[in-house]
Amino acid sequence: MFPLGTVLLPGGLLPLHVFEPRYRQLVTDLLADDVNAPEFGVTMIERGKETGGGEVRADVGAVGRVVQIEALEGGRYRLVVVGTRRLRVRSWLPDDPYPLADIDDWPDENPDDPGLADLIAGAHARIRDINRRAAEFDDRRPRATGGVDAGDDRPVAASDAEISDDPLLATYHLAGIAPLGPADRYRLLCADSPRQRLELLDQALDDVIAMIEFRRT
């Protein structure tokens, strides 16, 4: 397991710089396994830091498959990981030599809901519009001294980002390209079904719009 301060969604890409000894050992073990795919679980850290241990970890995450790996000096690695499926932690095991857990795959309920297509198209259009508006505001706001941007720390995704033709995967892609923070993305990851995910996304976008309008006044 690899607890992080961010959320990996199915279908999402996650670059990682691996430098802690415990996670360098995890990568070494993955590379030594000639049978299984190079995968590990990723869960969000609810409280605490990514380094040093002792963090409080969420119990829902995603399985990440390593699709790129580069060895660096000092035994470090640079990885690119893609989320493949959702997981639920049944119990955390002792961190020996790195975080370990007993997990179950957690498939979405009713993934073939016939009414998803129109909801997805509407959400995608709405996210494009919000991302454009957020980007325009970001371009206009003044820069803080020291070369650091002031204000909201939520990343703004590309307004023209594409999503999957698969309705279930598309709901995760929408959660990834919307300008949301980790807590909101985690709520979307935990939705029981793709329809519920879209409903929660709609509510989160209402809050984003309200924040944009507030900051423009």
Q: Rounded to the nearest 10 degrees, how much is the dihedral formed by the CA atoms of 115, 116, 117, 121?
A: 130
Write the CATH number of the domain with boundaries 2-105. Answer: 2.30.130.40
Per DSSP, 36 falls in state S
Beta bridge partners of 101: 92
Q: Under a CB-based contact definition with an 8 Å cutoff, are residues 187 and 7 in contact?
A: no
- Integer Cα distance of 51 and 187 in angstroms: 24
- Integer Cα distance of 160 and 82 in angstroms: 20
pLDDT tens digits for 148-188? 222 333 333 444 578 999 999 999 999 999 999 999 999 99
Phi, psi of 177 (to 5 degrees): -95, -10
Tokens of 11: 């279908």
Q: Under a CB-based contact definition with an 8 Å cutoff, are residues 10 and 62 in contact?
A: yes
Predicted pLDDT at 140: 45
Q: What is the pTM of this model?
A: 0.85
Dmax over CA atoms of the chain, in Å, equals: 58
Predicted pLDDT at 134: 78
The structural domains of the chain, with segments of one domain joined by +, span 2-105, 116-216
Of the listed ranges 62-76, 111-125, 127-141, 192-206, the least confidently predicted one is 127-141
Tokens of 198: 């879209």
Phi, psi of 89 (to 5 degrees): -80, 125
Predicted pLDDT at 157: 45
pLDDT tens digits for 53-89? 667 899 999 999 999 999 999 999 999 999 999 999 9
- Integer Cα distance of 159 and 95 in angstroms: 40
Peptide bond into 97 cis (omega under 30): yes
Q: What is the mean pLDDT of the chain?
A: 87
Spatial CA neighbour of 124 closest among 79, 74, 174: 174
